Protein backbone atom coordinates (compact mmCIF):
# COMPACT_ATOMS: atom_id res chain seq x y z
CA UNK A 1 0.00 0.00 0.00
CA UNK A 2 1.36 3.39 -1.01
CA UNK A 3 1.82 5.90 1.79
CA UNK A 4 1.90 9.64 1.24
CA UNK A 5 4.08 12.04 3.18
CA UNK A 6 2.17 14.87 4.86
CA UNK A 7 3.41 17.72 6.99
CA UNK A 8 1.57 19.09 10.03
CA UNK A 9 2.30 21.88 12.46
CA UNK A 10 1.62 20.58 15.96
CA UNK A 11 1.79 22.23 19.34
CA UNK A 12 4.51 21.16 21.76
CA UNK A 13 1.85 19.54 23.93
CA UNK A 14 0.47 17.49 21.02
CA UNK A 15 3.98 16.38 20.03
CA UNK A 16 4.66 15.24 23.61
CA UNK A 17 1.31 13.44 23.83
CA UNK A 18 1.87 11.70 20.50
CA UNK A 19 5.35 10.60 21.53
CA UNK A 20 4.05 9.30 24.87
CA UNK A 21 1.20 7.35 23.26
CA UNK A 22 3.58 5.90 20.67
CA UNK A 23 5.91 4.80 23.46
CA UNK A 24 3.09 3.33 25.56
CA UNK A 25 1.60 1.48 22.59
CA UNK A 26 5.03 0.42 21.27
CA UNK A 27 4.24 1.97 17.87
CA UNK A 28 5.78 4.56 15.63
CA UNK A 29 4.28 8.04 15.72
CA UNK A 30 2.89 7.40 12.23
CA UNK A 31 1.17 4.20 13.37
CA UNK A 32 -0.16 5.97 16.45
CA UNK A 33 -1.64 8.79 14.38
CA UNK A 34 -3.24 6.23 12.06
CA UNK A 35 -4.84 4.42 15.00
CA UNK A 36 -6.11 7.67 16.52
CA UNK A 37 -7.58 8.94 13.25
CA UNK A 38 -9.24 5.58 12.61
CA UNK A 39 -10.69 5.55 16.15
CA UNK A 40 -12.09 9.08 15.75
CA UNK A 41 -13.52 8.21 12.34
CA UNK A 42 -15.22 5.07 13.68
CA UNK A 43 -16.66 7.03 16.62
CA UNK A 44 -18.05 9.64 14.24
CA UNK A 45 -19.63 6.95 12.04
CA UNK A 46 -21.25 5.32 15.08
CA UNK A 47 -22.60 8.64 16.30
CA UNK A 48 -23.93 9.58 12.85
CA UNK A 49 -25.52 6.15 12.41
CA UNK A 50 -27.04 6.34 15.90
CA UNK A 51 -28.46 9.80 15.23
CA UNK A 52 -29.91 8.65 11.92
CA UNK A 53 -31.50 5.65 13.63
CA UNK A 54 -33.00 7.94 16.27
CA UNK A 55 -34.40 10.19 13.54
CA UNK A 56 -35.98 7.18 11.83
CA UNK A 57 -37.51 5.95 15.12
CA UNK A 58 -38.82 9.44 15.87
CA UNK A 59 -40.33 9.72 12.39
CA UNK A 60 -41.96 6.30 12.71
CA UNK A 61 -43.39 7.26 16.12
CA UNK A 62 -44.84 10.49 14.69
CA UNK A 63 -46.46 8.53 11.87
CA UNK A 64 -48.32 6.24 14.30
CA UNK A 65 -49.68 9.09 16.42
| The pLDDT of residue 14 | 97
| The pLDDT of residue 1 | 76
Whole-angstrom distance, CA of residue 48 vs CA of residue 51: 5
- Rounded to an integer, the average pLDDT of 40-55 is 82
- The average confidence (pLDDT) of the chain is 86
Residue 64: band (very low, low, confident or very high) from pLDDT cuts 50, 70, 90: low
Residue scoring higher pLDDT (51 or 10): 10
- The answer to whether residue 33 scores a pLDDT higher than 70 is yes
Using alpha carbons, select from 38, 35, 33 the residue that is nearest to residue 14. Answer: 33
| The pLDDT of residue 42 | 93
Amino acid sequence: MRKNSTSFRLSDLTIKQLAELARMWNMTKTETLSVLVNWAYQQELRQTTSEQASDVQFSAQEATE
